[in-house]
Structure formats: structure tokens, C-alpha cells
Amino acid sequence: MSGLVVGLLSGFLALTASEALAADLPVTQAGTSPATAPSCAHGVWTGTLGGIPISMELKAREEGAPVGRYYYRASPTDLFLTQDAVTGEWQEQDDQGKSTGRLRLSCDARGLKGEWRSADGARRLPVVGSAAADDQYPAARRAGIKPTAKKSGSFQKRRFELLTFAPQGGDTEGLRLIGTGVGLETVNAALREAATDAVSDHLECKSTGRLERGPEAGYDAAIRQQVEAWNDVYVVVRTYTEGYCGGAHPWHDTFTTTYTLETGDKVDTATWLQPQYRKEIGDTSALGRLLRKTYQKADLGPDYSDCKDSISWSAASLHGLPGQLVFHTSAPYALTPCAEDLALPLPQVQRFLSPEGVQAMKAFR
């Protein structure tokens, strides 16, 4: 996806150990020998290196030497560590595989401590840290993720902005609705949270791939948000997600979320249907027969005979459009082309609606 090449972490510039040395930060002498200290082979720590905030993760492995990673402040880029089985030192490399330093680390009840040394051994910096929960490793980096406006657009005279997280955020494209009111602010906060999570996951995928599978590890992650419908009562946002982080297959998903503009809360659209349809919509039910008949007649691309035994519909995946109620078709991964949305005109679905659904669909007329 094209986009403005902008800084993801404005005001949170990454600082390598070499840059820290150039900044004339305090230097200390060598500490306790790793041969006589605990190995610190597993855990997450937050602390400082040469007085600069860092987040560090070390991992013991069933096979091979322990490995680790750390980053400065909110940097999107990690430095990677491998423990030397003989000396106990941690050999440091950047994401391109270049040697950038060595660390000696030890742990006790008070936390982690040690020393960083430059690759040539000429300069040294102290390392100190406190134990943290495993999910705290990406926390500082996630807090520094900042989008920038990519372009503006309109939907039925209502304005919105598309946000970019490039280049560090992959193909992530967020959405901000322009307007006032608590409901709209709540919706924007939810959209921003989802996009930020996607960028954080993208960076974690990239980092763990490099750590566990080497510099050539494949990775990718993206999220795109777009307006599907927007009226005085509701806004409907479609979200596309896709990516790859190891394993046999990439992942992908498409889903819609309906928000009420009064409060900004997500709407349980399943309640728009009568109670008997609020879980799986059975093939033998009147609504199920209508969906299958419409799907078979629709020119959706795949041959119905290839899809008919695998497709299904659920009230958990539907949304309104002007004059229509849209059902999301589910299908196995191998039959992804079969999973086409199916829009039914309002007169056809009116008899399947609950009182809540009748009221809700008035906003989509």
C-alpha cells in the first residue's frame, strides 16, 4: 500500500548503544563474572542501559543457546542477543546481523544488573532492570505508536481521515471520523486502539521472526479500516486484516462492526433478528432457505456447487446498509472465495426482524 513515509514514533527516536556512548553517558567497569552469577536466561525486565530506558526479554530454549532482545525507549527496532555457552556473555546484533556489542548479565532478588560493552570492548555501560510481566515487553513501544493523517475523504457528506502508521506499521491504515460528540469520540478511540494493536502486533511479528527464525524470516501484517455506512444513528466500519508470522499459512479476515453514535458502543446486531435466528441460521429455517436461494442465484464468482456444502451464516455477522441487511458468509480457509457478503433487500428480511431490528433498520432506509 502506498502512503506517506513518516516517522512512527515522533519524539521517541531510537538510540543504539553506540549512540549512547557518543552522548558521553556514564561508563562503568566490568561487574561480576557471569560464570559465578545466575544466568538470567529467561524473563522480561524494564530498566536502563547507560541511563537510557530499555525493555529486555530473554528466552531459554529446549534446543540451542538462550536468545533475547531489547529496545531503547519506544524504538520500533530491536537489538538481538544470543548467549555464548562458554563465556555466558550475550552477543548483540542489530536486525541486519551486524555485531553491535556484548552484555554480561546477572540476576538476584533485587532484579537484573550487568554491563554492556562495545563490540571492540573499548567502552562500557551499566545495565539495571526490574522483573516485569511477559506482556510488558512491547508496552513502551506500543505507547509510542503515533499515526499521521494520510488523506481525508467523505461519506454521504460526512467527513473522515485515513491515518497511516508507515513505514514501521506495514500496510496499516486507520480511520478517524470527523465530528463532535461523546459517541463519535468513543468510536474513534476504539478504531485507534484496534489500529495501534495491529501495528504493535506487526512489530512483534517482525521481531520474534528475526529472533526465532533468523534475519531472513518472513513477516507481514496489515489492517485497513473503511466506512461502510454512516447515518444519524449508526456508523458501520469494515476492517480487513491480513499477515504472516511463520507457520503454514498467512492469516486474513474481514469483519464489520456497527457502532451507535449516541454512546459509541458496539451494537449486538444479532438482536436485530428474531430469537430463533440469533445463533447459527439453520439451512432448514425460512431465513436459511432464503439465504441459500439468494446465494445460489447471485453472481458472486465461485460456483455454488463448490461452495454449497461448506458455507454458513450467523446472526453474529450482519450489518445494515441503505435499504439492505447484509449477511457475512462463512467458509473454510481453503474455500475463501466462497465467503462473499450477501445483501438482502429490507422487504425480504422484514418478517425475520425483531422489534429491535425493525427500529434499527429505520435508520438505514
Report the pLDDT value the prediction gives residue 330, as an integer from 0 to 100.
93
Give the model confidence (pLDDT) of 187-208 as tens digits.
999 999 999 998 998 899 889 8
Conformational region of residue 267, where left means phi above 0, alpha means psi within -120 to 50, and beta covers everything else: beta
Q: Residue 189 phi/psi, 5° resolution?
A: -65, -40
Report the pLDDT value the prediction gives residue 39, as an integer from 0 to 100.
59
Q: Identify the band that residue 345 occupies on the pLDDT scale cut at 50, 70 and 90.
A: very high
Give the model confidence (pLDDT) of 277-321 as tens digits.
998 899 999 999 999 999 999 988 788 999 999 999 999 899 999
Which residue(s) pair with 230 in the sheet?
235
The residue ranking higher by pLDDT, 354 or 171, is 354
Say which amino acid occupies 89: E
Q: Residue 40 phi/psi, 5° resolution?
A: 55, 40
> Across the beta sheet with 324-327, what order do the strands follow?
318-321, 324-327, 342-345
Percent of the chain with pLDDT over 90: 67
Report the pLDDT value the prediction gives residue 344, as an integer from 0 to 100.
97
Which grid cell is 255? 469483519
Cα dihedral sign for 145, 148, 151, 154? positive
Report the pLDDT value the prediction gives residue 279, as an integer from 0 to 100.
83
How far is Cα 129 from Cα 65, in angstroms, rounded to an integer?
Answer: 22
Residue 109 has pLDDT above 80, yes or no: no
Q: Name the CA radius of gyration of the chain, rounded.
A: 26
Report the pLDDT value the prediction gives residue 301, as an integer from 0 to 100.
78
Average pLDDT for the chain: 87
HSE-up of residue 293 (Cα within 13 Å, Cβ side): 9
Q: Is the Cβ–Cβ distance between 118 and 17 less than 8 Å?
A: yes
Give the model confidence (pLDDT) of 162-182 as tens digits.
999 876 666 789 999 999 999
Give the model confidence (pLDDT) of 45-83 as tens digits.
999 999 999 999 999 988 889 999 999 999 999 999 999
How far is Cα 149 from Cα 158, in angstroms, rounded to an integer?
Answer: 17
- Residue ranges with strand state E in the chain: 43-49, 52-59, 67-72, 79-83, 90-93, 99-108, 111-117, 124-132, 148-155, 158-164, 173-177, 220-230, 234-244, 251-260, 318-321, 324-327, 342-345
How far is Cα 169 from Cα 164, in angstroms, rounded to an integer?
Answer: 8
Q: Is 107 exposed, middle or buried (0-12, 13-18, 19+ CB in 10 A)?
A: buried
Report the pLDDT value the prediction gives residue 24, as an integer from 0 to 100.
37
Residue 26 has pLDDT above 60, yes or no: no
Q: Identify the band that residue 35 occupies on the pLDDT scale cut at 50, 70 and 90.
A: very low
Give the model confidence (pLDDT) of 277-289 as tens digits.
998 899 999 999 9
Q: Is 135 exposed, middle or buried (0-12, 13-18, 19+ CB in 10 A)?
A: exposed
Which grid cell is 336? 475463501
Report the pLDDT value the prediction gives residue 209, as an integer from 0 to 100.
87
The domains located in the chain, with CATH, are: 17-141 (2.40.128.50), 147-267 (3.30.565.40), 268-365 (3.90.640)
Q: Is 108 exposed, middle or buried (0-12, 13-18, 19+ CB in 10 A)?
A: exposed
